[in-house]
């Protein structure tokens, strides 16, 4: 019981502290696409194939960008 209570308290603490400020933004590029392969070897012979591909042009990437805001009282 104590282990469950400790886990719940820890998760509640981090959940309340995991909000972003208005000066932080998430950015990135998702590189995904569909590839067409003509005359691909399959288990039943040769066939045309459509498949999902990632990293066709560039790799996917993401990051956080922020700016410092000085609070004055």
Query: What separation, in Å, do the N-terminal and C-terminal C-alpha atoms of the chain show?
Result: 45
* Alpha-carbon separation of residue 11 from 3, 43, 45 (angstroms): 12, 49, 53
**Is it the case that residue 72 has pLDDT exceeding 80?**
no
- Exposed, middle or buried, 31 (CB in 10 Å: 0-12/13-18/19+)? middle
* Rounded distance between C-alpha atoms, residue 44 and residue 51, angstroms: 17
| Whole-number pLDDT of residue 19 | 55
Place of tokens 């400020």: 21
| Whole-number pLDDT of residue 37 | 80
Q: Residues 52-72: what's their mean pLDDT?
A: 76
Q: Where are the domains of the chain?
A: 27-64
**Is it the case that residue 2 has pLDDT exceeding 80?**
no
Model confidence over 14-53: pLDDT tens digits?
Answer: 665 555 556 778 888 888 888 888 877 777 887 888 888 7
């Amino acid at each position: 019981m104590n282990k469950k209570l400790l886990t719940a308290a820890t998760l509640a603490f981090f959940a309340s502290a995991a909000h972003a400020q208005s000066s932080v933004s998430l950015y990135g590029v998702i590189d995904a696409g569909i590839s067409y392969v003509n005359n691909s070897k399959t288990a039943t012979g040769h066939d045309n194939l459509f498949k999902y591909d990632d990293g066709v042009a560039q790799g996917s990437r993401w990051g956080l960008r922020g700016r410092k805001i000085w609070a004055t009282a």
